[in-house]
Amino acid sequence: MKFPRCFTLLATAAALSVAMTAQAREYSVSTVLSDAFPWGQAAQKWADLVKERSEGRITLRVYPNAQLVAGDQTKEFSAMRSGLIDMAVGSTINWSPQVPELNLFSVPFLMKDNADLDAITQGEAGKLAFAAIEKRGIMPLAWGENGFRELSNSVKPLRAPADLAGLKIRVVGSPLFQDTFTALGANPTQMSWSDAKPALTTGAVDGQENPISVFDVARVDQVGQKYLTLWHYMADPLIFAVNQRVWKGLPEADRELLSQAALDAGKWEIELSRGQQAQRLADIRSRGVEVVELSDAERSAFVEATQSVKQSWAPKIGPQLMKAAEDAIAKP
């Protein structure tokens, strides 16, 4: 039986619609911070670019505040590796328990500024760090940025290692952070960020360290943090990444789309984050926070006080990676 041409066209269109629907995919994306922060905005930008460039065929659903791991950000990498999370925009700090090489970025005073950070992430050291992540079942696609971490407290201006003696400082759950603040004479106290603000409010801890964006958006000045020292002691790059099983199951064209969108979102977020620093500091000062900017001599005293930490952690990070990072920084 021969059907009219109009019916044939309608059948073809219906078949195409079914095929398009069958190809539609939704993936989970984990982040620790919401889109009130540049970190969360990076994940949302990635999702927006992917949706636009795939014409709605691929959806990245962002789950902020580490909600896919019940708030325990240090479990994010393991959850993604096991397949409980499809993708993430994650922190080198939070992933370092599973990828020791990522402790490179937490080595105290390894990097002085953004130029040093870029030299590492965009060079041989960055490739080695990505290779270490891929080796453990995750496909890294691009770099983002949570920023250099600065030090605040409720007691006094901090200009020298001796000023930290006995201060209780909230740190993330990394042994390297414990070692760094112990070397400086402080009393490092590990706790989640959700527990940190109440502890700062009650005085259970005296201070904390975080990027300027977190200090500003989270209004850490409202929980007694009256003194902020800009010491740039370490940076926290972000990584756009995908579970390898998900990655391998994607057509090559979709891999290219996801990867390029991650690169573009990462570049956008880094520029956004750095471009906001001056205004954020001005706003923080206007709220009555005393901001301390270290001289070269003052910073050198902190560098010297933490040399033993760098030496003890270098073998755990890997000689090849450490050398690549130091060589990148040393280049004119």
pLDDT digit of tens for each residue in the chain (332 aa)? 554 554 444 444 444 444 444 478 999 999 999 999 999 999 999 999 999 999 999 999 999 999 999 988 889 999 999 999 999 999 999 999 999 999 999 999 999 999 999 999 999 999 999 999 999 999 999 999 999 999 999 999 999 999 999 999 999 888 999 999 999 999 999 988 888 989 999 999 999 999 999 999 999 999 999 999 999 999 999 999 999 999 999 999 999 999 999 999 999 999 999 999 999 999 999 999 999 999 999 999 999 999 999 999 999 999 999 999 999 999 88
Q: Which fold has domain 25-330?
A: D-Maltodextrin-Binding Protein; domain 2 (3.40.190)
Domain residue ranges in the chain: 25-330
Query: Cα separation of 279 and 284, whole Å?
Result: 9
The answer to whether residues 67 and 98 touch, using CB atoms and an 8 Å cutoff, is no
Token pair listed for 162: 């001796």
Max CA pair span of the chain: 93
SS3 144: strand
Query: Cα separation of 90 and 77, whole Å?
Result: 8
CA torsion, points 70, 73, 78, 84, in degrees to nearest 10? 40
pTM, to two decimals:
0.91
pLDDT at res. 16:
41
SS3 188: strand
pLDDT at res. 7:
46
pLDDT at res. 15:
43
Query: Cα separation of 117 and 115, whole Å?
Result: 5
Residue partners of 160: CB distance under 8 A and separation at least 6? 298, 301, 302
SS3 147: strand
